[in-house]
Structure 1
Amino acid sequence: MIQLKYLSAYSPGLQAQVQQLIAEDRLGAHLQTKYPVSNTVQTDKALYRYVCELKQEHLRNAPAIDKVAFDSKLDVVHHALGLHTAISRVQGGKLKAKKEIRVASLFKTAPAEFLHMIVVHELAHLKEHDHNKGFYQLCEHMLPNYHQLEFDLRLYLTWREGAAR
Protein backbone atom coordinates (compact mmCIF):
# COMPACT_ATOMS: atom_id res chain seq x y z
CA MET A 1 0.00 0.00 0.00
CA ILE A 2 1.44 3.35 -1.10
CA GLN A 3 1.43 6.32 1.28
CA LEU A 4 -0.78 9.03 -0.27
CA LYS A 5 0.90 12.07 1.29
CA TYR A 6 -0.74 14.56 -1.11
CA LEU A 7 -4.18 13.12 -0.37
CA SER A 8 -3.91 12.53 3.40
CA ALA A 9 -6.64 15.09 4.22
CA TYR A 10 -9.20 13.35 2.00
CA SER A 11 -11.67 10.67 3.08
CA PRO A 12 -10.55 7.04 3.44
CA GLY A 13 -13.05 6.04 0.73
CA LEU A 14 -11.53 8.44 -1.77
CA GLN A 15 -8.02 7.33 -0.83
CA ALA A 16 -9.08 3.70 -1.39
CA GLN A 17 -10.28 4.58 -4.91
CA VAL A 18 -6.91 6.21 -5.65
CA GLN A 19 -5.08 3.20 -4.19
CA GLN A 20 -7.08 0.95 -6.54
CA LEU A 21 -6.18 3.08 -9.58
CA ILE A 22 -2.52 2.87 -8.57
CA ALA A 23 -2.68 -0.90 -7.97
CA GLU A 24 -4.26 -1.41 -11.40
CA ASP A 25 -1.71 0.99 -12.95
CA ARG A 26 -4.52 3.17 -14.31
CA LEU A 27 -3.84 6.51 -12.57
CA GLY A 28 -1.59 7.85 -15.34
CA ALA A 29 -4.07 6.83 -18.05
CA HIS A 30 -6.92 8.42 -16.09
CA LEU A 31 -5.04 11.72 -15.84
CA GLN A 32 -3.97 11.59 -19.50
CA THR A 33 -7.59 11.08 -20.57
CA LYS A 34 -8.83 13.92 -18.38
CA TYR A 35 -5.96 16.33 -19.19
CA PRO A 36 -4.59 15.51 -22.65
CA VAL A 37 -3.25 18.99 -23.48
CA SER A 38 0.34 19.68 -22.47
CA ASN A 39 1.37 23.07 -21.23
CA THR A 40 2.74 25.41 -23.92
CA VAL A 41 4.17 28.03 -21.54
CA GLN A 42 7.86 27.08 -21.44
CA THR A 43 9.85 30.27 -20.81
CA ASP A 44 9.89 32.86 -18.07
CA LYS A 45 8.87 35.52 -20.58
CA ALA A 46 5.85 33.48 -21.73
CA LEU A 47 4.95 32.76 -18.09
CA TYR A 48 5.10 36.49 -17.28
CA ARG A 49 2.73 37.26 -20.17
CA TYR A 50 0.40 34.43 -19.12
CA VAL A 51 0.26 35.66 -15.50
CA CYS A 52 -0.25 39.29 -16.54
CA GLU A 53 -3.15 38.33 -18.85
CA LEU A 54 -4.88 36.44 -16.04
CA LYS A 55 -4.24 39.29 -13.62
CA GLN A 56 -5.66 41.81 -16.08
CA GLU A 57 -8.74 39.66 -16.62
CA HIS A 58 -9.54 39.05 -12.94
CA LEU A 59 -7.57 41.42 -10.68
CA ARG A 60 -7.18 44.75 -12.42
CA ASN A 61 -6.86 46.71 -9.16
CA ALA A 62 -4.29 44.40 -7.57
CA PRO A 63 -0.68 45.59 -7.30
CA ALA A 64 1.49 45.21 -10.40
CA ILE A 65 3.69 42.14 -10.69
CA ASP A 66 7.33 42.94 -11.29
CA LYS A 67 8.73 39.47 -11.95
CA VAL A 68 7.39 36.02 -12.82
CA ALA A 69 9.63 33.01 -13.32
CA PHE A 70 9.88 29.26 -13.29
CA ASP A 71 11.99 28.16 -10.33
CA SER A 72 13.79 24.82 -10.33
CA LYS A 73 14.40 25.12 -6.57
CA LEU A 74 10.68 24.97 -5.76
CA ASP A 75 9.43 21.45 -5.44
CA VAL A 76 6.89 19.27 -3.75
CA VAL A 77 9.44 18.12 -1.18
CA HIS A 78 9.39 21.60 0.33
CA HIS A 79 5.60 21.83 -0.11
CA ALA A 80 5.90 24.73 -2.53
CA LEU A 81 4.60 24.58 -6.08
CA GLY A 82 4.35 28.33 -6.37
CA LEU A 83 5.59 31.25 -4.34
CA HIS A 84 4.61 34.88 -4.10
CA THR A 85 6.93 37.41 -2.50
CA ALA A 86 7.09 41.13 -1.91
CA ILE A 87 10.62 42.45 -1.70
CA SER A 88 11.01 45.92 -0.21
CA ARG A 89 13.97 48.09 -1.13
CA VAL A 90 14.90 51.67 -0.32
CA GLN A 91 15.39 53.73 -3.47
CA GLY A 92 16.33 57.30 -2.67
CA GLY A 93 13.97 58.46 0.04
CA LYS A 94 11.22 56.02 -0.88
CA LEU A 95 10.45 52.44 0.01
CA LYS A 96 9.66 50.38 -3.11
CA ALA A 97 7.93 47.00 -2.95
CA LYS A 98 8.48 44.55 -5.80
CA LYS A 99 5.97 41.73 -6.23
CA GLU A 100 7.29 38.42 -7.56
CA ILE A 101 5.65 35.11 -8.43
CA ARG A 102 7.69 31.94 -8.82
CA VAL A 103 6.26 28.70 -10.21
CA ALA A 104 7.89 25.28 -9.81
CA SER A 105 9.62 24.10 -12.98
CA LEU A 106 7.64 20.85 -12.94
CA PHE A 107 4.76 22.85 -14.47
CA LYS A 108 6.67 23.16 -17.73
CA THR A 109 5.72 19.55 -18.43
CA ALA A 110 2.43 19.39 -16.50
CA PRO A 111 -0.99 19.70 -18.13
CA ALA A 112 -2.04 23.28 -18.94
CA GLU A 113 -4.91 23.23 -16.43
CA PHE A 114 -2.51 22.61 -13.53
CA LEU A 115 -0.35 25.60 -14.46
CA HIS A 116 -3.53 27.69 -14.68
CA MET A 117 -4.56 26.52 -11.20
CA ILE A 118 -1.17 27.36 -9.63
CA VAL A 119 -1.10 30.80 -11.26
CA VAL A 120 -4.64 31.53 -10.03
CA HIS A 121 -3.58 30.42 -6.54
CA GLU A 122 -0.57 32.75 -6.51
CA LEU A 123 -2.54 35.66 -8.01
CA ALA A 124 -5.18 35.25 -5.28
CA HIS A 125 -2.43 35.92 -2.75
CA LEU A 126 -2.17 39.47 -4.13
CA LYS A 127 -5.57 40.15 -2.54
CA GLU A 128 -5.77 37.55 0.25
CA HIS A 129 -2.57 36.65 2.08
CA ASP A 130 -3.92 33.69 4.08
CA HIS A 131 -5.61 30.51 2.92
CA ASN A 132 -8.99 31.50 4.32
CA LYS A 133 -12.55 31.39 3.04
CA GLY A 134 -12.14 34.64 1.07
CA PHE A 135 -8.99 33.30 -0.56
CA TYR A 136 -10.70 30.16 -1.86
CA GLN A 137 -13.76 32.14 -2.96
CA LEU A 138 -11.46 34.36 -5.01
CA CYS A 139 -9.77 31.28 -6.51
CA GLU A 140 -13.20 29.85 -7.43
CA HIS A 141 -14.20 33.20 -8.96
CA MET A 142 -11.11 33.23 -11.19
CA LEU A 143 -11.26 29.50 -11.96
CA PRO A 144 -14.70 27.93 -11.36
CA ASN A 145 -13.41 24.35 -11.10
CA TYR A 146 -10.47 25.33 -8.84
CA HIS A 147 -11.13 22.70 -6.15
CA GLN A 148 -11.40 19.84 -8.66
CA LEU A 149 -8.16 20.96 -10.31
CA GLU A 150 -6.44 21.14 -6.94
CA PHE A 151 -7.50 17.56 -6.21
CA ASP A 152 -6.44 16.39 -9.67
CA LEU A 153 -3.08 18.13 -9.23
CA ARG A 154 -2.64 16.11 -6.03
CA LEU A 155 -3.42 12.98 -8.06
CA TYR A 156 -0.86 14.07 -10.67
CA LEU A 157 1.81 14.60 -8.01
CA THR A 158 1.03 11.17 -6.54
CA TRP A 159 1.28 9.55 -9.97
CA ARG A 160 4.48 11.47 -10.81
CA GLU A 161 6.13 10.38 -7.58
CA GLY A 162 5.10 6.76 -8.16
CA ALA A 163 6.39 6.85 -11.74
CA ALA A 164 9.75 8.14 -10.50
CA ARG A 165 10.21 5.03 -8.31
Structure 2
Amino acid sequence: MRPKPPPNYLAGYPAHLVTQVTDLIAADTLGEVLRRKYPDAHAVRTDRALYDYVLDIKNTHLRTAGPLSKVAYDSKLQVIAHALGTHTAISRVQGGKLKAKREIRVATVFRDMPPAFLEMIVVHELAHLKEREHDKAFYQLCRHMAPAYHQWEFDLRAYLAYLAAGGAPLWAGAGTADG
Protein backbone atom coordinates (compact mmCIF):
# COMPACT_ATOMS: atom_id res chain seq x y z
CA MET A 1 0.00 0.00 0.00
CA ARG A 2 1.33 3.47 -0.92
CA PRO A 3 1.68 6.14 1.76
CA LYS A 4 -0.83 8.95 1.44
CA PRO A 5 0.64 12.22 0.12
CA PRO A 6 0.65 15.03 2.67
CA PRO A 7 -2.40 17.29 2.63
CA ASN A 8 -2.18 20.19 0.24
CA TYR A 9 -2.39 22.99 2.78
CA LEU A 10 -1.91 25.62 0.08
CA ALA A 11 -4.69 24.51 -2.28
CA GLY A 12 -6.70 27.47 -3.51
CA TYR A 13 -3.86 29.99 -3.22
CA PRO A 14 -2.37 31.62 -6.35
CA ALA A 15 0.38 29.59 -8.03
CA HIS A 16 3.04 32.26 -7.43
CA LEU A 17 2.48 32.13 -3.65
CA VAL A 18 2.54 28.33 -3.61
CA THR A 19 5.78 28.40 -5.63
CA GLN A 20 7.35 30.86 -3.18
CA VAL A 21 6.50 28.60 -0.24
CA THR A 22 7.67 25.40 -1.95
CA ASP A 23 10.90 27.12 -3.01
CA LEU A 24 11.53 28.24 0.59
CA ILE A 25 10.86 24.71 1.82
CA ALA A 26 13.20 23.26 -0.81
CA ALA A 27 15.92 25.77 0.15
CA ASP A 28 15.38 24.87 3.82
CA THR A 29 14.74 28.54 4.71
CA LEU A 30 10.99 28.68 5.40
CA GLY A 31 11.51 27.80 9.06
CA GLU A 32 13.94 30.69 9.46
CA VAL A 33 11.54 33.10 7.73
CA LEU A 34 8.66 32.05 9.99
CA ARG A 35 10.78 32.23 13.17
CA ARG A 36 11.81 35.80 12.29
CA LYS A 37 8.19 36.79 11.69
CA TYR A 38 6.82 34.91 14.72
CA PRO A 39 9.70 34.60 17.23
CA ASP A 40 7.82 33.25 20.26
CA ALA A 41 5.21 30.67 21.13
CA HIS A 42 2.12 31.64 23.13
CA ALA A 43 1.75 30.63 26.78
CA VAL A 44 -1.79 29.18 26.59
CA ARG A 45 -0.80 25.64 27.59
CA THR A 46 -3.78 24.14 29.46
CA ASP A 47 -7.42 23.57 28.56
CA ARG A 48 -8.43 26.01 31.32
CA ALA A 49 -6.11 28.70 29.97
CA LEU A 50 -7.49 28.04 26.46
CA TYR A 51 -11.06 28.37 27.74
CA ASP A 52 -10.24 31.72 29.37
CA TYR A 53 -8.44 32.90 26.22
CA VAL A 54 -11.38 31.96 23.96
CA LEU A 55 -13.91 33.48 26.34
CA ASP A 56 -11.98 36.76 26.39
CA ILE A 57 -12.07 37.01 22.58
CA LYS A 58 -15.73 35.94 22.50
CA ASN A 59 -16.72 38.52 25.11
CA THR A 60 -14.84 41.23 23.24
CA HIS A 61 -16.35 40.57 19.81
CA LEU A 62 -19.40 38.28 20.16
CA ARG A 63 -21.08 39.24 23.41
CA THR A 64 -24.54 38.25 22.18
CA ALA A 65 -23.51 34.79 20.96
CA GLY A 66 -24.61 31.84 23.07
CA PRO A 67 -22.43 30.54 25.89
CA LEU A 68 -19.67 27.99 25.41
CA SER A 69 -19.82 24.93 27.64
CA LYS A 70 -16.40 23.54 26.75
CA VAL A 71 -13.16 24.64 25.11
CA ALA A 72 -10.25 22.21 24.92
CA TYR A 73 -7.17 21.09 23.05
CA ASP A 74 -7.87 17.84 21.20
CA SER A 75 -5.02 15.49 20.26
CA LYS A 76 -7.16 13.42 17.86
CA LEU A 77 -8.62 16.32 15.92
CA GLN A 78 -6.22 16.68 12.99
CA VAL A 79 -5.89 12.92 12.50
CA ILE A 80 -9.59 12.05 12.63
CA ALA A 81 -11.41 15.10 11.28
CA HIS A 82 -8.64 16.51 9.04
CA ALA A 83 -9.40 19.77 10.81
CA LEU A 84 -7.43 22.11 13.01
CA GLY A 85 -10.41 23.17 15.08
CA THR A 86 -14.08 22.32 15.44
CA HIS A 87 -17.17 24.04 16.70
CA THR A 88 -20.03 21.74 17.66
CA ALA A 89 -23.51 22.31 19.02
CA ILE A 90 -24.89 19.35 20.93
CA SER A 91 -28.61 19.32 21.72
CA ARG A 92 -29.96 17.23 24.59
CA VAL A 93 -33.43 16.80 26.02
CA GLN A 94 -33.53 17.67 29.71
CA GLY A 95 -36.96 17.16 31.14
CA GLY A 96 -39.35 18.88 28.76
CA LYS A 97 -36.76 21.26 27.37
CA LEU A 98 -34.15 21.07 24.65
CA LYS A 99 -30.75 22.25 25.90
CA ALA A 100 -27.93 23.13 23.50
CA LYS A 101 -24.27 23.02 24.47
CA ARG A 102 -21.57 24.53 22.29
CA GLU A 103 -18.01 23.28 22.28
CA ILE A 104 -14.83 24.42 20.60
CA ARG A 105 -11.93 22.03 20.18
CA VAL A 106 -8.51 23.12 18.96
CA ALA A 107 -5.90 20.68 17.63
CA THR A 108 -3.05 20.17 20.10
CA VAL A 109 -0.58 21.21 17.40
CA PHE A 110 -1.59 24.78 18.38
CA ARG A 111 -0.08 24.38 21.86
CA ASP A 112 3.34 24.95 20.31
CA MET A 113 2.66 27.82 17.94
CA PRO A 114 2.90 31.60 17.97
CA PRO A 115 0.06 33.68 19.44
CA ALA A 116 -1.09 34.78 15.98
CA PHE A 117 -1.75 31.20 14.85
CA LEU A 118 -3.72 30.38 18.00
CA GLU A 119 -5.74 33.57 17.64
CA MET A 120 -6.45 32.74 13.98
CA ILE A 121 -7.93 29.30 14.76
CA VAL A 122 -9.88 30.59 17.77
CA VAL A 123 -11.34 33.47 15.73
CA HIS A 124 -12.25 31.00 12.97
CA GLU A 125 -14.12 28.71 15.36
CA LEU A 126 -15.81 31.61 17.17
CA ALA A 127 -17.02 32.98 13.83
CA HIS A 128 -18.98 29.74 13.45
CA LEU A 129 -21.11 30.81 16.42
CA LYS A 130 -22.65 33.43 14.10
CA GLU A 131 -21.98 32.11 10.58
CA ARG A 132 -22.22 28.42 9.71
CA GLU A 133 -20.80 28.49 6.18
CA HIS A 134 -17.38 29.64 4.99
CA ASP A 135 -18.83 32.48 2.96
CA LYS A 136 -18.20 36.20 2.59
CA ALA A 137 -19.99 37.10 5.85
CA PHE A 138 -17.97 34.46 7.72
CA TYR A 139 -14.61 35.82 6.55
CA GLN A 140 -15.71 39.42 7.17
CA LEU A 141 -16.45 38.44 10.76
CA CYS A 142 -13.04 36.74 11.05
CA ARG A 143 -11.35 39.92 9.75
CA HIS A 144 -13.42 42.03 12.15
CA MET A 145 -12.13 39.99 15.11
CA ALA A 146 -8.57 39.68 13.74
CA PRO A 147 -7.68 42.14 10.96
CA ALA A 148 -4.60 40.07 9.98
CA TYR A 149 -6.68 36.84 9.81
CA HIS A 150 -5.90 36.05 6.16
CA GLN A 151 -2.15 36.60 6.53
CA TRP A 152 -2.05 34.46 9.65
CA GLU A 153 -4.01 31.70 7.92
CA PHE A 154 -1.61 31.72 4.96
CA ASP A 155 1.44 31.67 7.22
CA LEU A 156 -0.07 28.82 9.25
CA ARG A 157 -0.73 26.84 6.09
CA ALA A 158 2.85 27.47 4.95
CA TYR A 159 4.07 26.20 8.33
CA LEU A 160 1.90 23.08 8.07
CA ALA A 161 3.28 22.44 4.56
CA TYR A 162 6.77 22.85 6.03
CA LEU A 163 5.99 20.28 8.74
CA ALA A 164 4.44 17.89 6.20
CA ALA A 165 7.65 18.14 4.15
CA GLY A 166 9.63 16.92 7.16
CA GLY A 167 10.56 20.24 8.76
CA ALA A 168 11.26 20.29 12.49
CA PRO A 169 8.69 22.00 14.74
CA LEU A 170 9.76 25.61 15.27
CA TRP A 171 8.17 26.44 18.62
CA ALA A 172 7.96 23.06 20.40
CA GLY A 173 7.99 23.46 24.16
CA ALA A 174 8.58 27.21 23.94
CA GLY A 175 5.50 28.34 25.92
CA THR A 176 5.82 27.96 29.67
CA ALA A 177 3.12 29.79 31.62
CA ASP A 178 -0.58 29.08 31.94
CA GLY A 179 -1.66 32.57 30.93
Residue deviations 1:88-120 (CA, integer Å, cap 9, x gap): 111111110000000000000111110100000
Does the 8 Å contact 2:6/2:164 carry over to 1?
Answer: no
| Aligned: 1:122 with 2:142 | no
| Aligned: 1:144 with 2:147 | yes
* Of 63, 82, 85, the match for 1:82: 85
* Of 14, 21, 25, the match for 1:22: 25
Report the counterpart of residue 41 of structure 1 in structure 2. Answer: 44
For residues 12 and 140 of structure 1, what CA distance do their matches in structure 2 show? 24
For residues 16 and 7 of structure 2, what CA distance do their matches in structure 1 show? 13
Residue deviations 1:16-38 (CA, integer Å, cap 9, x gap): 21121112100000110111120
- Give 1:36's aligned amino acid: P
Greater RCO (CA < 8 Å, at least 6 residues apart):
2
* Of 89, 94, 105, the match for 1:91: 94
- Give 1:146's aligned amino acid: Y
- Give 1:94's aligned amino acid: K
Q: Compute the displacement of 1:3 (Å).
A: 7.3
For residues 82 and 73 of structure 2, what CA distance do their matches in structure 1 show? 16
Q: Secondary structure at the match of 1:70?
A: strand
TM-score (norm 1): 0.94
TM-score (norm 2): 0.87
Aligned length: 164
- Give 2:102's aligned amino acid: K
How large is the RMSD of aligned CA atoms in angstroms?
Answer: 1.7
- Give 2:18's aligned amino acid: Q
Q: Could you list the runs of 4 or more consecutive aligned residues of structure 1 that deviate by over 3 angstroms after TM superposition?
A: none
Q: Secondary structure at the match of 2:72?
A: strand
Query: Which consecutive residues of structure 2, in runs of 5 or more, have no partner in the other structure?
Result: 169-179
Does the 8 Å contact 2:24/2:30 carry over to 1?
Answer: yes
Cα separation, partners in 2 of 1:62 and 1:164, compared to 1, 3 Å: same
For residues 98 and 23 of structure 1, what CA distance do their matches in structure 2 show? 45
Report the counterpart of residue 58 of structure 1 in structure 2. Answer: 61
- Give 1:29's aligned amino acid: E
Identity %: 59
Query: Which consecutive residues of structure 1, in runs of 5 or more, have no partner in the other structure?
Result: none
* Of 134, 137, 145, the match for 2:137: 134
For residues 76 and 37 of structure 1, what CA distance do their matches in structure 2 show? 26
